[in-house]
Amino acid sequence: MEKELLNKMIEDTDNAANEGKQFEGETERQYYYMNLCKAHVYNEERRLGRKLTACINTFGCQMNFHDSEKLLGILREIGYVETDSEKADLVVYNTCTVRENANLKIYGRLGYLSNLKKKNPNMKIALCGCMMQEKEVVEKIKKSYRFVDIIFGTHNIFKFAEILYNSYGKNKMITDVWEGTTQIVENLPSIRKYKFKSGVNIMYGCNNFCSYCIVPYVRGRERSREPEDIIKEIENLVADGVVEIMLLGQNVNSYGKGLKNEISFAELLRRVEKIEGLKRIRFMTSHPKDLSDELIDVMAESEKICNQMHLPVQSGSSRLLKIMNRHYTKEDYLTIVKKLKEKIPDISITTDIIVGFPGETEEDFEETIDVVKQVEYDSAFTFIYSKRTGTPAATMEGQVPEEVIKERFGRLLKVINEISAKNTDKYTGQTVEVLVEEENNHDESLVTGRLTNNILVHFKGDKSLIGSIVKVHLDESKGFYYMGTMVEQ
């Protein structure tokens, strides 16, 4: 682009803004700001004689990783070149605050960023994500981390280009955090990490208020996307080479509530199943309280929904589950698992467990071990309870001493590991369909793929196979993964 042309573009768009230009919708408005940023980046490139670089560092769950793909989409549109190094012109931290250590990690890394910024005065530092929705965090950053340029939250990430544009040429911290929103902005750019698979948001926020959890406070109330928008997005992804999608929500089982035309999650899955060219469907997370028989039936009938269910139990003690505000008992949970296993015999079940919730007794903990043994999870994410200020559990009596938690945690891990190693072994000798995902990190002659139940297998193959589904004989179980041989392409 010629410089004069660019300057004219900036002038025109600035005038339009001053004249109160009317946009058709938020998407158009944001594309307008992306164009303004583009012109700025272009001028900077001319001035510095090099491209501008951006690094996004993501913490937390799949939602955040998917949000970062949207941030990256915006940045590429603007003209930044992505880099893994934090020695970049723009560094974005997309933060998580679900447990305290996630939160502390950010403060630790900010010190390092401030040193980098001293060496590159052009550098901009942006913080976003769940941690920024906490007032105390923003106050602390304003007070002690003055070098941060931009703070925004989870509700207005679609506004990234606008906020970034407003920060160009200024040395002042810009803070734009919303308390909540009912808005869902569609059709902004997004860059996928993998060509052949993608996350797809079906809903945002959470209404469950589990008593230990901060997510409903930082992600706001539950909002479902229109099924037509979801289907359209997936069709576009498939046309662009995607064969596997992961439908994302904090509680996908309550999808569709509050829409003008209410629709169940199972019905959405039926519609997604019909999309031609799509091969695999995954989803997370399922809350046991809302898991319907209809969903189990749809899974059992489906050709495309993977035989995998992530079903966080949190605790095996009905007494604690009540205090956790989970709305199911140990027996309810085990009944669902029984139904799942009956209707989908080779289903892989995984879970999340919290150890050391306030008031957890040895008996409560043994109930958890009992559930683990009965369900025989393929894998389980285990977390030490972390006190989150503002949640009901933070002020509950009976916080469990650290040594007790550590001892229980170790015991639980041992049981989980024994069971998952035994589980993995059960498919040895079978030939299964595998989606080839990447070259093996350690051995270039190998590629790594995933079974429908999410287990990994390494086998001899060329990287040209990446993104295709092939048949692999599972030769040997290595505990958490297999070594195999490809039998058919």
Binding site for ligand SF4 (CB under 6 A): 206, 208-210, 213, 215-216, 250-251, 287
Alpha helices in 254-401 (DSSP H): 265-273, 293-301, 318-323, 330-343, 362-375
Alpha helices in 79-170 (DSSP H): 100-119, 135-144, 160-167
Minimum CB distance to ligand SAH smaller for 211 or for 448: 211
Find the helix packing angle between 402-425 and 362-375, rounded to 10°. Answer: 10
Subset of residues 170 to 199 that bind ligand SAH, contact rule: CB under 6 A: none
Positive or negative torsion for Cα 116, 119, 120, 125? positive
Subset of residues 51 to 80 that bind ligand F3S, contact rule: CB under 6 A: 60-61, 63-64
Instruction: Residue 330: name its binding partner from ligand F3S, ligand SF4, ligand SAH, none (Cβ under 5 to 8 Å by kind).
Output: none
Instruction: Residue 209: name its binding partner from ligand F3S, ligand SAH, ligand SF4, none (Cβ under 5 to 8 Å by kind).
Output: ligand SF4
Alpha helices in 168-264 (DSSP H): 215-219, 227-239
Min CB(469)–ligand SAH separation in Å: 29
**CB burial of residue 289 (10 Å; 0-12, 13-18, 19+):** middle
Minimum CB distance to ligand F3S smaller for 58 or for 477: 58
Instruction: Residue 64: name its binding partner from ligand SF4, ligand SAH, ligand F3S, none (Cβ under 5 to 8 Å by kind).
Output: ligand F3S
Min CB(63)–ligand F3S separation in Å: 5
Subset of residues 111 to 140 that bind ligand SAH, contact rule: CB under 6 A: none
Instruction: Residue 388: name its binding partner from ligand SF4, ligand SAH, ligand F3S, none (Cβ under 5 to 8 Å by kind).
Output: ligand SAH
Residues 216-235: x where in contact with ligand F3S by CB under 6 A, - otherwise, as a string: --xx----------------
Residues 203-222: x where in contact with ligand SAH by CB under 6 A, - otherwise, as a string: ---------xx-x-------
Minimum CB distance to ligand SAH smaller for 215 or for 309: 215
Number of residues that bind ligand SAH (CB under 6 A): 17
Number of residues that bind ligand F3S (CB under 6 A): 11
Residues 126-165: x where in contact with ligand F3S by CB under 6 A, - otherwise, as a string: ----x-----------------------------------
Contacts of 247 (CB under 8 A, 6+ apart): 200, 202, 230, 268, 269, 272, 281, 282, 283, 284
Give the tokens for residue 265. Answer: 């999650």
For residue 74, give the H/E element and its range.
helix 62-78
Contacts of 102 (CB under 8 A, 6+ apart): 59, 60, 95, 96, 131
Give yes or no for a contact between 454 and 475, defined as CB atoms under 8 angstroms apart.
no
Q: Figure out which of the listed residues 52, 88, 98, 320 binds ligand F3S, where binding follows CB under 6 A.
A: 98
**Cα angle for residues 26, 72, 60 (degrees, 5° grid):** 100
Stretch that binds ligand F3S, among 93-101, 330-338, 352-360, 390-398 (CB under 6 A): 93-101
CA-based nearest residue to 444, from 434, 431, 458: 458
Give yes or no for a contact between 387 and 399, defined as CB atoms under 8 angstroms apart.
yes
Looking up tokens 């001293």, which residue turns up? 118
Give dist(CA 289, CA 316) in Å, integer.
Answer: 14
Minimum CB distance to ligand SF4 smaller for 357 or for 377: 357
Subset of residues 229 to 258 that bind ligand SAH, contact rule: CB under 6 A: 250-251
Minimum CB distance to ligand F3S smaller for 204 or for 427: 204
Min CB(388)–ligand SAH separation in Å: 5
Length of the chain: 489
Min CB(130)–ligand F3S separation in Å: 3
Give yes or no for a contact between 382 and 410, defined as CB atoms under 8 angstroms apart.
no
Stretch that binds ligand SAH, among 43-51, 184-192, 383-391, 464-472 (CB under 6 A): 383-391
Subset of residues 361 to 380 that bind ligand SAH, contact rule: CB under 6 A: none
Q: Figure out which of the listed residues 314, 317, 368, 477 binds ligand SAH, where binding follows CB under 6 A.
A: 314
| Alpha carbon 197 to its chain's center | 14
Give dist(CA 205, CA 221) in Å, integer.
Answer: 5
Min CB(69)–ligand F3S separation in Å: 14
Min CB(301)–ligand F3S separation in Å: 31
Minimum CB distance to ligand F3S smaller for 105 or for 341: 105
Give yes or no for a contact between 285 and 310, defined as CB atoms under 8 angstroms apart.
yes
> What is the identity of the amino acid at 206?
C
Residues lying near ligand SAH in the complex (CB under 6 A) are found at 98-99, 212-213, 215, 250-251, 285, 287, 312, 314, 352, 354, 383, 385-386, 388
